[in-house]
Structure 1
């Protein structure tokens, strides 16, 4: 099974001779570099689903939280820690 993990964009810059938009994305306390080539409208603060180093879609904060909780329940978070600190607490979630 292939999983896409939600993360929050912290910064964006151009790399590879200014031809590729790359972002620093935070996943439950871990920061990774991610390509934004499939999401030209993604911006700092957006939540994105990432698969093999590529952001494949934007999601809202609530959807990102629900996805993280589901992945935690099925034991698929691996090295990610402090998931509860990943997103602000939401009423009713």
Structure 2
């Protein structure tokens, strides 16, 4: 079995001396995350966050590509959810 981790891009809006940073995501949500695992994190950096930890810094172009990929992933999930709900309805009609 293969595990999949989803890292979300966001922009650093504040860095504290205790190894934490505030990161703003595309939906406007700001979250405190652990910045101690990646050196030199500064306000304005675009980072990838997984499970509350900054796992890497990326450039703006990579962030745009990742935002697009995440949006496509969400659309795919929504379509599959609608397909699954339709299947459940049809199964309920048969039973």
Question: Above 0.5 in TM-score?
Answer: yes
Q: Would you say how many aligned residue pairs link Structure 1 and Structure 2?
A: 72
Q: Whose relative contact order is higher, 1 or 2, with alpha carbons under 8 Å and at least 6 apart?
A: 1
Name the CA distance, whole Å, in 2 between partners of 1:75 and 1:6: 15
Aligned to 2:29: 30
Matched, 1:46 2:45: yes
The answer as to 2:9 corresponding to 1:6 is yes
CA distance in 2, matches of 1:41, 1:74: 31
Contact 2:49 2:55 in 1 (8 A): yes
Superposed counterparts of 1:70-89, under 5 Å: 70-75=69-74
Runs of 5+ unmatched residues, structure 2: 76-95
- Higher strand proportion, which one? 1
Larger Rg: 2
- Structure 1 CA distance for aligned equivalents of residues 72 and 39 of structure 2: 32
What TM-score do the two structures reach when normalised by structure 1? Answer: 0.72
Runs of at least 4 residues off by over 4 Å: none
Counterpart secondary structure, 2:19: strand
Q: Aligned partners of 1:10 and 1:32: how far apart in 2?
A: 10
Cα root mean square deviation, aligned: 1.6
**Unpaired segments ≥5 residues, structure 1:** 15-19, 77-93
Structure-2-length-normalised TM-score: 0.70
